[in-house]
Amino acid sequence: MAAPIWESSLEQFRAAAASGDPTPAGVAVSAVSASFALGLLAKVLKVSGRHKKFAASAAKIGSLSDAARAEAKRMLQFAEEDIAAFSAYVASGRLPQATDREREERQRAVNAAVRKAIEIPLAAARSAAAGLELCSEASGLTHAAVIADLGAATSLLSSAMRIFLLCADSNLRQLALDPQPFREIFAARTEWENRANRYAESALKHVASVINSLPGKFGRES
């Protein structure tokens, strides 16, 4: 895609994702989805903040909403960076290697592109994890009218995080000549990944509880 993602239409992005071109692919598509999820979370908070029930929590709601919008913008940046990283990887493989110097320069370019192809989805996963924490914090501040939207945002972010990690794992195994430099950051991920999954589970349980407590039109009419 020639133009930045945030300047393209949804149809242009969808068409690019469905094309035979190598990008955009899993990370970029999931990052855009996560950006929408975080935008939806900001909407949930804004709508909930209008209700008197949450008037005392206006500052907290505003802070969470600002954080959600900031993460949404980061997600679009991750999508752009992932596209650039894979394009750089493809380009590095086409560099000349007729001499020792050319081979060394080519390998440096390959290694740099591979590092980005691994680090970017990991960073996007951390951003999604931060978004899930926001969803958990927002769960007690969400009006019933938009509680399903909170569940949608949480589910989309949880799925995006899993996809980011899946892509990072795949790139590590398929592209990295030496996985050793990445062992520490991959090992460290277990703690924050598990914590994010607990945040998602907590938020979704709250969503289900609120929905199940609603009387429904049928109950009121009978």
| Residue 216: band (very low, low, confident or very high) from pLDDT cuts 50, 70, 90 | confident
Q: How far apart are CA 86 and CA 29, in angstroms?
A: 14
Q: Which fold has domain 23-212?
A: Four Helix Bundle (Hemerythrin (Met), subunit A) (1.20.120)
User: Coil, helix or strand for 174?
Assistant: helix
Task: List, for residues 182-197, the tens digit of each pLDDT value.
Answer: 888 888 899 999 999 9
Task: Outline where the chain has alpha helix (H).
Answer: 10-17, 26-49, 58-92, 100-138, 147-175, 183-213, 216-221
Least confident of 4-8, 105-109, 119-123, 158-162: 4-8
Q: Is 0.85 surpassed by the pTM of this model?
A: yes
Q: What is the pLDDT of residue 2?
A: 63
C-alpha count within 13 angstroms, C-beta hemisphere, residue 96: 5
Report the percent of the chain where pLDDT is more than 90. Answer: 81
